[in-house]
């Protein structure tokens, strides 16, 4: 299939230039993977969109019904769908219009994500830091400038992802993913109460680990903590779990016997809850 | 005249939904006031746009020539023009495409800004804080979520503007303006090396004050500093200088004999340099 865009349920690729998503970044997005017509992590994605709109000062009635109706219009194939909800058309003013019609954008592409390599990928630390903003922490709002700048720091195809810190020097996540590490068969991930995006796959991984009796800790730690851990991985909705074999001077265990490998193998159990 | 939008020089109000300005906030904007066909603060606006694109990782050849050509297409009237430059169409990926065509948007409206009231306005402190990000400090990139949230904190028409602090509790500016205060005939304004927008009118006010032999200090100060100052004002390109007569428990001098009043009266000297 060709890439397809649905805006408020109609096939079109153009958007009003007065949209508050463009002019103020007042919108949220999430990327949903669809396999054989079935949307993965539906419940998590929906919660992220709803919490996001609420944090950004607007409310959309019946988001679930609308997005489900959009999904009914597209082929039952393997797809990657970026869903964006914005505060809609607005005056060119910070003040939200009293009456507003939100904009709902589905950017639909064939799913081109390969299975993550079994041997893992190499990662790097990014220089670009993430600003600390508790008011918007966790939300995937449209401004992803810091991630764009961080991703521009490397060009080598051998590098799978970059680790980002916040301006206080604390671990937050990858440029397009959340971050986890394993120490003595326990799972750790950055606390995102100050900064970062609470991705749908992050929630699913935490849920899967807890179902399997693995302790999960949300922590604010400097990067030095990664000098003495056993395993490291990134995750996102499109790519699943991406094991890391090396970061800076450290090497990490990969493969089917690691906790990361077991979570990868069992991931399917939580994708369609 | 009716509001008019020019996108890459053509009159249209729609934009490709794959624009990186929407999807990643990768763009900058500035609002230019045009009086009788003459653009005010042209040099400052152009510098802001160019510095902004550069900070956001893209370069646009001949910005000045292109925007001047656009301005040649519009009526010689009193206008408010929001110029937006984005990194253009992109893959749905953080990685900038190797070849890119920037998007240039001019949103043109009749200028509806009244002269600021001579007696000044009342201001409030906003609860919403600005995240500290030295990497993007000074730049007016598209994400203005914090300002939208701050502006939603008051609805009373008697309030002219809100003062915003950063997450460290330091004064930054207004929701749509820069902030200045006067103590013993010297001018003070927040240092914007950590966070904030270096607006065109801010640069013009500093230049005007220096031309008149007034000392100007860029400082990082908590809001308590405003308890013992003589005058307070906001400024932006559309509204000029907006004197404040009251903020929290403090009252400030206004009128033609204040330094603020003199800067207002002399402002025309620097609008068309």
For B20-53, give one letter per residue: b (16+ CB within 10 A) or e: bbbbbbbbbbbbbbbeeeebbbbebbbebbbebb
**What are the DSSP calls for B205-223, one per residue?**
HHHHHHHTT--EEEE---G
> Is a pLDDT exceeding 90 seen at residue B77?
no
* B window 167-196, beta carbon within 8 A of A: 167, 175-176, 195
Continuous segment of H or E residues that includes residue B33: strand B27-35
* % of chain B beyond a pLDDT of 90: 81
Output the six-digit token pair for A127.
């220089």
B123-154 confidence digits (pLDDT tens) = 999 999 999 999 999 999 999 999 999 999 99
Output the six-digit token pair for A261.
């490998």
Is the CB of residue B69 less than 8 Å away from at least one CB of chain A? no
Supply the mean pLDDT for chain A. 94
pLDDT of residue A88: 93
Q: Do B18 and A107 touch (CB under 8 A)?
A: yes
Interface ipTM: 0.93
Query: Is the distance from CB of A41 to CB of A241 less than 8 angstroms?
Result: no
In total, chain A counts a number of residues equal to 273
> Chains A and B: how many Cβ contacts under 8 Å?
167
> Is a pLDDT exceeding 80 seen at residue A209?
yes
Is the CB of residue A33 less than 8 Å away from at least one CB of chain B? no
CA atoms of B95 and B207, how far apart (whole Å) = 39
CA atoms of A35 and B161, how far apart (whole Å) = 50
pLDDT of residue A144: 94
pLDDT-derived band at A62, boundaries 50, 70, 90? confident
In chain B, DSSP finds a helix count (H) and a strand count (E) of 6, 16
The whole-number average pLDDT for the span A163-180 is 98
CA atoms of B48 and B15, how far apart (whole Å) = 23
Which has the closest alpha carbon to A179: A223, A210, A139?
A223
* B window 193-222, beta carbon within 8 A of A: 195
> Is a pLDDT exceeding 90 seen at residue A222?
yes
Q: Which residue of A has its CA nearest to B109?
A: A92
Q: Which residue of A has its CA nearest to B25?
A: A143
Domains and CATH numbers, chain B: 4-110 (3.30.470.10), 121-270 (3.20.10.10)
Q: Which of B22, B55, B109 to mutate to test the interface with A (most CBs of A within 10 A)?
A: B22
Is the CB of residue B4 less than 8 Å away from at least one CB of chain A? no
Q: Do B146 and A133 touch (CB under 8 A)?
A: yes
> Is a pLDDT exceeding 90 seen at residue A97?
no
> Is a pLDDT exceeding 80 seen at residue A192?
yes
Output the six-digit token pair for A80.
């990657």
> Is a pLDDT exceeding 80 seen at residue A114?
no
* pTM of the shown model: 0.94
Residue keyed to tokens 């997450």:
B167
Is the CB of residue A134 less than 8 Å away from at least one CB of chain B? yes
């Amino acid at each position: 299939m060709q890439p397809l865009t649905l805006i408020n349920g109609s096939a079109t690729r153009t958007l009003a230039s007065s949209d508050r998503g463009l002019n103020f970044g007042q919108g949220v997005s999430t990327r949903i993977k669809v396999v054989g017509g079935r949307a993965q992590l539906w419940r998590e994605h929906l919660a992220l969109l709803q919490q996001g709109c609420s944090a950004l000062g607007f409310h959309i009635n019946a988001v679930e019904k609308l997005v489900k109706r959009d999904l009914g219009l597209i082929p039952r194939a393997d797809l990657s769908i970026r869903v964006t909800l914005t505060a809609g058309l607005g005056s060119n003013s910070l003040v939200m219009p009293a009456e507003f019609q939100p904009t709902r954008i589905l950017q639909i592409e064939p799913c081109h994500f390969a299975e993550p390599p079994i041997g893992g990928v190499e990662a790097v630390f990014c220089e670009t830091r993430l600003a600390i903003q508790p008011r918007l922490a966790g939300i995937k709002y449209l401004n992803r400038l810091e991630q764009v700048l961080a991703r521009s720091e490397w060009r080598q195809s051998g590098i799978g992802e970059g680790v980002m810190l916040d301006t206080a020097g604390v671990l937050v996540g990858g440029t397009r993913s959340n971050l986890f590490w394993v120490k003595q068969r326990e799972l750790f991930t950055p606390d995102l109460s100050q900064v970062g995006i609470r991705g749908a796959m992050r929630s699913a991984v935490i849920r899967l680990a807890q179902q399997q009796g693995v302790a999960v800790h949300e922590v604010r730690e400097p990067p030095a903590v990664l000098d003495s851990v056993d395993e490291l991985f990134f995750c996102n909705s499109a790519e699943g779990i991406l094991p890391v074999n090396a970061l800076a001077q450290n090497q990490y265990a990969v493969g089917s016997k690691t906790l990361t490998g077991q979570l990868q193998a069992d991931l399917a159990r939580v994708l369609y809850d």
